[in-house]
Amino acid sequence: MTSTLDVAKIRADFPILNRRVHDKPLVFLDSAASSQKPAVVIDAMDHYYRTSHANVHRGVHTLSEEATALYEGARRRIGKFINARSSREVIFTRNATESINLVAFTWGRANLRSGDEILLTESEHHSNIVPWQMLAKEVGAIVRYIPVDAQGYLDTSALDSMLTVKTKIVGIASMSNVLGTIMPIEEVTQRAHGVGALVLIDGAQGVPHLPTDVQAIGCDFLAFSGHKMCGPTGIGVLWGRRELLEAMPPFLGGGDMIRTVTYEGAEWNELPWKFEAGTPAIAESIGLGVAVDYLSALGMPAVRAHEREIIAYALDRLAEVPGLTLIGPDDPDRRGGVATFTLDDIHPHDLAAILDGEGIAIRAGHHCAMPLHRKLGLMASSRASFYIYSLPEEVDRLIEGLYKAKSIFKR
């Protein structure tokens, strides 16, 4: 297999990959939950704290100016990474979850009424279900779900009947964290706009792994997390179309998000700060800016090409294992670097524990997609997920681990 990325060189950038777990070289196959971090990101955050830390947007003093320049510089680079028209459209949040909640509780509360419909897919992460359910309960709206078929593809023919003038917003992940399906977000966006609905893309999985261009997609909101794309935890992004963000009320109130305050009331700051109440995650945003530079230098098309190769290899190797049932598409062109499966009747938690003994980290459980698991007739599944540092040899180690689990359980 010839990867389009120099994976050996990339691996040398990630200190944690030298670790041993249970005296075996670590095989980290849980990047869909959170990716590892290259030294440049760790060093940038460390350097910031050692040399330039002060609160942002506050002082006239040198350190505050340096911190503000770093913070706002990161915002600009993140905006370019997703091809935002303006960095004013890039709002820092804690994570994708908070970004989606922000839209549900500001735009949603202001615009949704009793009987309005919120359209999601059956494969959404809880983060793109629960905030909408909470909003729906509050305003009397209805949440509906576009079906996903047995192969893990979205049933776009259902859009004909499900998209109506009642539909006010469509929420869809660009890539499913369980099925791995790369979703037809451009088509869904076009058709949703056809009935006047807005579209929120949950890019928690898509943005780290696929080239993402908000102008090309044509969507209205994009939510993603820094920690799944080589950045730190505690920092996420909401991108939104400027006119929409301008019209939305703020989410949280406090310092930084105001222009003026009197004892009687307040006026809001301009974008993006209107949505950034309180002292933000400064070091984390700087770390995410560096992570975006790191991914941009590799090139997101090359990142995708590498993951396509590794998932194609993983799907081939997994298909050799008797008793293994793959969940999601078997076409690597339509699947990201996520391989979810069950193995005989071995509980995913037992399997994950056996693999951990071999130094292999996978995720077991419902992956925050309980409704999808219930629809598939499963309580839980096992998931191996890949990233820029994943090697075919690691897929081989996984397969060996699966055979070991089978022999322990005499399957």
Cα separation of 315 and 157, whole Å? 27
Distances in Å between the alpha carbon of 228 and those of 72, 213, 252, 380, 406?
Answer: 21, 18, 25, 22, 31
CB of residue 284 to ligand 7TS, shortest distance in Å: 12
Kind of pairing between the strands at 90-93 and 236-240:
antiparallel
Cβ atoms within 10 A of the Cβ of 366, count? 18
Q: Which residues pair with 200 in a beta bridge?
A: 171, 221
Q: How far is the CB of 118 from ligand 7TS (least distance, A)?
A: 16
Phi-psi region for residue 152, left (φ > 0), alpha (ψ -120 to 50) or beta? left
Select 68 or 342, whichever has its Cβ closest to ligand 7TS: 342
d(CA 210, CA 364): 24
Residue 203 or 250: the one with the smaller Cβ distance to ligand 7TS is 203
Nearer to ligand 7TS, 36 or 68 (CB): 36
Nearer to ligand 7TS, 269 or 275 (CB): 275
The CA distance from 155 to 191, in Å, is 13
The CB-of-160 to ligand 7TS minimum distance in angstroms stands at 25
Cα(149)–Cα(154) distance, integer angstroms: 6
Rg (CA), the chain: 22
Q: Is position 368 annotated as part of the catalytic site?
A: yes
Q: How far is the CB of 204 from ligand 7TS (least distance, A)?
A: 3
Tokens 């009935």, residue located: 195
Provide the binding-site residues for ligand 7TS, judged by CB under 6 A.
32-33, 95-97, 125, 127-128, 173, 177, 202, 204-205, 225, 363, 367-368
By C-beta, is 117 or 202 nearer to ligand 7TS? Answer: 202
- Which of 281, 368, 376, 405 is flagged as catalytic? 368
Minimum CB–partner distance for residue 365 and ligand 7TS (Å) = 9
Is the Cβ–Cβ distance between 268 and 330 less than 8 Å?
no
Would you give the end-to-end CA distance of the chain in angstroms? 31
Nearer to ligand 7TS, 208 or 359 (CB): 208
Tokens of 24: 């075996």
CB of 60 to ligand 7TS, least distance (A): 35
Residue 214 identity: V
Distance (Å, whole) CA 376 – CA 325: 12
Catalytic residue numbers, as ranges: 368
